[in-house]
């Protein structure tokens, strides 16, 4: 388990490269998309799980949840990643974010 200090950020404060702790995972935020609905902005971050071996060993996150697929002509749908996680929320959703050292 990583013992790095952490801070709380809401979804609107997250930034590319932040490492979010969730479900025993350390997820580095890679790319964000956002949409406005009912006068509120919702953020969706694609991320990379950095402690995949620990997550696999703990077993509380099914490995199939970390898998993404893409269409490859002539092969159909193939797995392209096995370390992906999505962080979603509005300014009302808080996240535990590691402080840079």
Query: Would the pTM of this model clear 0.85, i.e. be above it?
Result: yes
The Cα 80–Cα 65 span in angstroms is 13
| Backbone phi and psi for residue 61, each to the nearest 5 degrees, phi listed first | -120, 115
And the tokens for 42? 């919702």
Average pLDDT on 5-26 reads 96
Structure confidence at residue 60 (pLDDT): 86
Distance, CA of 79 to CA of 26 (rounded, Å): 22
Res 101: pLDDT: 62
Which tens digit of pLDDT belongs to each residue from 26-85?
999 999 999 999 899 999 999 999 999 999 999 989 999 999 999 999 999 999 999 999
Q: How far, in whole angstroms, is CA 88 from its chain's centroid?
A: 8
Question: 48 Cβ partners below 8 Å, 6+ apart?
Answer: 27, 28, 30, 83, 84, 85
Task: Please check the confidence at residue 1 and state whether its pLDDT lies above 90.
Answer: no
Cβ 26 vs Cβ 4: under 8 Å? no
Q: Has residue 98 got a pLDDT over 90?
A: yes
Residue 89 phi, psi dihedral angles, 5° rounding: 160, 180
- Is residue 2's pLDDT more than 70? no
DSSP class of 64: G
Domain boundaries, the chain: 6-95
């Amino acid at each position: 388990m990583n013992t790095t200090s952490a801070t709380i950020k809401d979804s609107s404060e997250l930034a590319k490269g932040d490492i979010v702790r969730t479900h025993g995972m350390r997820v580095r935020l890679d790319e964000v998309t956002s949409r406005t609905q009912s006068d509120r902005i919702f953020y969706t971050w694609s991320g990379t799980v950095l402690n995949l071996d620990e997550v696999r060993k703990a077993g509380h996150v099914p490995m199939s949840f970390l898998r993404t697929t893409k269409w490859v002509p002539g092969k159909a749908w193939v797995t392209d990643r096995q370390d992906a996680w999505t962080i979603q929320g509005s300014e009302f959703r808080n996240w535990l974010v590691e402080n840079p050292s």
